[in-house]
Amino acid sequence: MKQIEGGITAVQGVQAAGICAGIKKAETKDIALIYTDTPATAAGVFTTNSVTAAPVLVCRKHLSDATAQAIIVNSGNANACTGDLGMTNAHRMAAATADQLDIEEEEVLVASTGVIGQQLQMQVIENGIQMAAKTLSSEGGDDAAEAIMTTDTFPKSTAIEIEVGGKTVRIGGIAKGAGMIAPNMATMLSFLTTDVNINSDTLQSALTRVVDNTYNLLTVDTDRSTNDTVLILATGNAENTEIANASGRDYEAFCDGLMFVCTELVKMLARDGEGATKLVEVVIKQAKNKEDAEKTARAVAESPLVKTAVFANDANWGRIMMAIGKSGAAFDPYQVDVLLGDYPLVKNGMDSGYDEEKATQLFDNDTVRITIDLRAGDAEITMWTCDYSYDYIRINADYRT
């Protein structure tokens, strides 16, 4: 496996664009377009929020044949809670894109992110789509990564090269996140491209499996968006023998690659959580079962008291024990170890006699790993989050102004 430059356009046959249409107040890019030279096999995973945005409904419909050739995305307006007009506008985004690219409307997937409850300015959007189509390029991956951002502070993009069935396969991805991120669709938007040759059911299986172990284990603030979407387009250009089943060496090799790309993106999303000063990895070991592992990880990763202590570089392990205890997982409190990196804070449920200054130093890092050993079984899990800082409040108290 090799990391390469170019993000989603590192994959041959993929073009992208990111332009400033004027949806947002600031002069920043706000429309992204992704296009494959030939129709691609497509799969998607969407928000479980029952207040579902119009573009998500359009995507689900257009994915019914499991192919697509373009993804049109706007930031600045989520097109959620917008009723019939919102649905009409989401369809119009697909139609305008299809028109520019001379493809069928059903081959266009749509995504929106931003403020909820306002109608799209369709004149601005349609002009933007025209502009984006004109600037499509095989070097446009970074522009697209930028154009999907809302409160993100940096674009999130990665690509790799792997071998599948003796052929070189590339996988690229971009994502945007920041706030309203919680399990069961963690990131708001992520778009993946690959040239692997795979059938549609198998692509969907691979995507679902990887999303469950990456985006769904990311939590920034427990809130779950109305628009969360992960889409993947597979062109087949790599000319490997088609992966036709969700098993076997080629399938596993592809899943490993996809897992790597999505893990990289998820770490970037956590690190760039609203107001985050560090990436926090919560590792659960020896849980009774997978469900308990996840419950425990989530209770710790979502605890505001733990997250503010991490922000303050404060080894307040009592808050970690409190969070483990409220999770509902089965364990004996006086069997639990808690480690910061490899340094034990808690031994058998009590103070390990750690050095306060050393713990503070270990917390004062870009990446903090908290390992919790429950000694209750053999299940383990890693979950990603960030700390809670003053800036989380500032960003979310000011977002609309």
Cβ proximity to a second copy, 285 vs 298, nearer residue: 298
Query: How far is C-alpha 179 from the chain's CA centre?
Result: 11
Q: For residue 160, what are its two tokens?
A: 């790799």
Cβ proximity to a second copy, 38 vs 50, nearer residue: 50
Is the distance from CB of 170 to CB of 238 less than 8 angstroms? Answer: yes
Which x/- pattern, by CB under 8 A, does the window 280-309 give for a second copy?
Answer: ----------------------xxxx--xx
Q: How many CB atoms lie within 10 A of CB 88?
A: 14
Compute the least distance from the CB of residue 29 to a second copy, in Å: 23
- d(Cα 26, Cα 94) in Å, to the nearest integer? 25
- d(Cα 337, Cα 73) in Å, to the nearest integer? 45
Compute the least distance from the CB of residue 272 to a second copy, in Å: 17
- Contacting residue, 62, 224, 267, 295, with a second copy by CB under 8 A: 224
Alpha-carbon Rg for the chain in angstroms: 22
Sign of torsion, CA 37 38 44 49?
A: positive
Cβ proximity to a second copy, 1 vs 51, nearer residue: 51
Task: Let me know how long the chain is.
Answer: 401
User: If binding means CB under 8 A, how many residues of this protein chain bind a second copy?
Assistant: 62
Active site residue 187: yes
- Residue 323 binds to a second copy (criterion: CB under 8 A): yes
Compute the least distance from the CB of residue 250 to a second copy, in Å: 37
- d(Cα 185, Cα 188) in Å, to the nearest integer? 7
Q: Which H/E stretch holds residue 16?
A: strand 14-19
| Residue appearing with tokens 């922000």 | 311
Cβ proximity to a second copy, 154 vs 390, nearer residue: 390
- Residue 66 binds to a second copy (criterion: CB under 8 A): no
345-366 per-residue burial string, b: 16 or more CB within 10 A, e: under 16: bbeeeeebebeeeebeebbeee
Q: How many CB atoms lie within 10 A of CB 390?
A: 11
- Residue 350 binds to a second copy (criterion: CB under 8 A): yes
- Residue 248 binds to a second copy (criterion: CB under 8 A): no
- Residue 65 binds to a second copy (criterion: CB under 8 A): no
- Residue 147 binds to a second copy (criterion: CB under 8 A): no
Cβ proximity to a second copy, 126 vs 221, nearer residue: 221
82, 158, 187, 214: the catalytic one is 187
Q: Which residues bind a second copy (CB under 8 A)?
A: 48-52, 78, 80-83, 115-118, 179-180, 182, 221-226, 302-305, 308-309, 311-312, 314, 316-319, 321-326, 328, 331, 333-334, 346, 349-351, 388-390, 392-394, 396-401
Catalytic residues: 187
